[in-house]
Chains A and B, each alone.
Chain A
Amino acid sequence: MTVGVAIEAPPMRHLLDVEGQSRAEIERILDLAVEMREARTERRHRSMLERETVGLAFYETSTRTRVSFELAAKALGATVVDLGMAGSSVVKGESLVDTLRTLERTGVTTIVLRHSDAGAPYLAARETGLRVVNAGDGAHAHPTQALLDALTLREALGSLDGRTVAIVGDVAHSRVARSNLHSLVALGARVRVAGPAEWIAGFESWRGVTVAASLDEALAGADAVMTLRVQVERLGSGFSVGDYTRGWRLDEERMRLAAPDAPILHPGPTNEGVEITAELANGPRSLIGRQVENGVPVRMAVLAMIAGAA
């Protein structure tokens, strides 16, 4: 199928990273995702991946990402095996590479990999013949989340060109934030990050990104705001949930600093009351539901593209 731009990039065999993807490449995936969403029940889509076996290898627990990949693969006609890593040979000490090579021999063609170690998908792509989709690796990347966020924002704002997006919270430990920084910058947005000092340390070196000194500075005139999940165990000594909430929680009053009706995103699951008030999370500015809805079509587009079917 042909989609919008006529850029002849080499066929994408894996989705390991958003970093390095051009604007045209990202837009091609988003356009395809829109097509998938609108024509999800079309016959040609239902058989697109009928020869593929997609293995879901989630070495970290996940509900929304895993389910969303499963539905996406099934919608395209793939056979899906959930490898339920907690009960498999992983616990017997088999290495990641050995496990994946075994799966490859059993006929799995594509692996959707979530792993607590940054870079694990690169290893999988190098050491096996599987197509690899990164479903989150350590603090490094979560490409499909960034793509569905980009789609959600593009639809809310029309375009990201020249728009300002603020990302608030634990940026340092967040693969969602890193992948969003790459995709948003590639799509022409200006990105600000803000959060407690330890959680934004080092990001001043990131090309195209500004580190804001405070939440107010990050929000001032922002066209969209993304807040990240706070993991309470990552709060250092001498820094409580209360401290975080006072400094960095999004609420109605602070959001007045942003552009009128600036939408709010969150990768979920939310800690309502900690990084965002329940009122905002469930209010009219919130795109959290749209993000979840866009997950399946974006993952359909990715799976179809790496299989060479779209």
Chain B
Amino acid sequence: MTEPRFGRLTDAPATLLITGARVIDPSAATDAVRDIAVLDGMLVVDPGALPEDLERIDGRGLVVAPGFVDLHAHLREPGSEDAETIESGARAAAHGGFTTVCAMPNTDPPLDDVDGVGLVTDRASDAACRVRVIGAVTRGRSGERLTDLEALARAGVVGVSDDGSAVTDAVLREAMEALASLGLPLIEHAEDPSLAAGAVMRAGAVAVRLGLVGWPPEAEVRVVERDIAMAAQTGARLHLTHLSTRGAVEAVREAKARGVAVTADVTPHHLAFADAWVAGSRRFAWEESDEQAPPAEGAYDGNCRVNPPLASREDARALMDGLRDGTIDAIATDHAPHPPERKLVPFGQAAPGLIGLETALSIGLAAVEEGRLELPTLLAALSTRPAAVIGEKRGMTLASPADFMAFDLQARWRVEPSALASRSANTPLLGMELPGVVRLTVADGRVTYRS
């Protein structure tokens, strides 16, 4: 293995040949061992067209898939560069196999106008992955006055969201009516603030034992139902992000069956972790339950504080079912970097959120190893399916710019701060060993990461 190296979108286009890799392309529903030839950044059919002295990569043991797309990431720039920057966040993305991330607008100042969108787009132009911008729904994310949605659309936003809170009743209809004609999705953090008030973890037996205020699942389900009804009325596209409850999965399943234009994503941590992690458990949601175990040394770890809170095991299973049957379209990371001083505090005071770009694939592979998820479904949920939500395409289509990633399915790695490209290391996975090591990421024809 060579030293990990990062590239940029402004680097020279790549020319390389990967021989004998397992190529899984959800866009063509193919899964076959073959060669991948890249000439000047383009996927080409004939390796014979490649120069003699090109780089050859032995693809045995590697899986190649279309470049990953993250619908939900917090890059923290501008405003919280101590936690992450566009540069470091994009490197974390490339390290995780992502070639595109959608940046949430809750920066400081928020991305609520054309200038904000332009600032991020400019700074990201030479990053290690493409950055798409999600604009704010309301000015200053205050929930009061709509942003200039038309101008944001012209500036290239891929959707709008007031992530961190749900869009208020007062502006929901107005926003959806405007978005319907613009064709942009409303990306909703579904949470009723009155039901969630004071809550720091998921309601249930673990919260009762730990003496922490519980977040009732209705806080999410009610808003999901409200939003679906409004989407059906207005014809706007609704994208529900980071679903965490069975009730929400059922509501989306039913809405899709009725033909409502709704899509949804789930985070790796809601699929795989569980509320018992707040008590120090580190058993995945599909493993045997240890909800009654006494708090372990890692109990009350601020890195387990996230919003929506880590789900119950039952809900995690419902989320996995939803991902498998297509009710949930995509896996999105909700990558939320925080500096140590915001996490090394008592649990209830910890800033919510955890990093996810560099661990998403490995968490998914842990589920694949246990037979809870098919590998092609996982890879589609990370690439082609989220791309479709923002109107993009991914695939290993010949004569198109190379945009893919390759990982070693058998290799494992230990999650520790030195192994992460993110400026932050706020994840409860620290110290754990996970399957799947990314070897190569190619974004828009350029090598953005290799190891």
Contacts and interface: CB of A to CB of B under 8 A. Distances in A.
Contacts of A159: none
B345 A97 contact: yes
B33 interface: no
B345 A205 contact: no
B344 interface: yes
Interface in B256-314: 292, 294-295, 297-300, 302
Contacts of B210: 118-119, 140
Contacts of B207: 202
Interface stretch (A122-130, A149-157, A219-227, A272-280): A122-130
Contacts of A178: 209, 211
Interface stretch (B171-179, B247-255, B346-354, B357-365): B346-354
- Name B's interface SS: loop
Interface in A60-98: 95-97
A187 interface: no
A202 B211 contact: no
A175 interface: yes
A20 B294 contact: yes
B45 interface: no
A19 interface: yes
A127 B344 contact: yes
Interface in A203-253: 203, 205-207
Contacts of B214: 202
A173 to B, nearest CB: 8
Nearest to B349: A117
Contact of B344 (A97, A175, A206): A97
A78 B347 CA distance: 31
A123 B344 contact: yes
B346 to A, nearest CB: 3
B348 A138 contact: yes
B346 A17 contact: no
A166 interface: no
A115 interface: yes
Contacts of A206: 205, 208-209
A159 to B, nearest CB: 23
A22 B211 CA distance: 21
A154 to B, nearest CB: 22
Contact of B299 (A95, A96, A119, A202): A119
A120 interface: yes
A122 B299 CA distance: 7
A167 interface: no
Q: Which 6 A-B pairs have the closest CB atoms?
A: A119-B300, A20-B294, A117-B346, A140-B211, A139-B211, A205-B205
Interface of A: 16-17, 19-20, 95-97, 115, 117-120, 122-123, 125-127, 137-141, 172, 175, 178, 202-203, 205-207
11 contacts: A19-B209, A117-B346, A117-B347, A117-B349, A119-B300, A122-B299, A122-B300, A123-B302, A127-B344, A140-B210, A206-B209
Given A119-B210, A119-B300, A139-B212, 16 more contacts: A115-B346, A118-B300, A118-B348, A120-B346, A122-B299, A122-B300, A123-B300, A123-B344, A123-B345, A127-B344, A138-B211, A172-B208, A202-B214, A203-B208, A205-B205, A207-B292
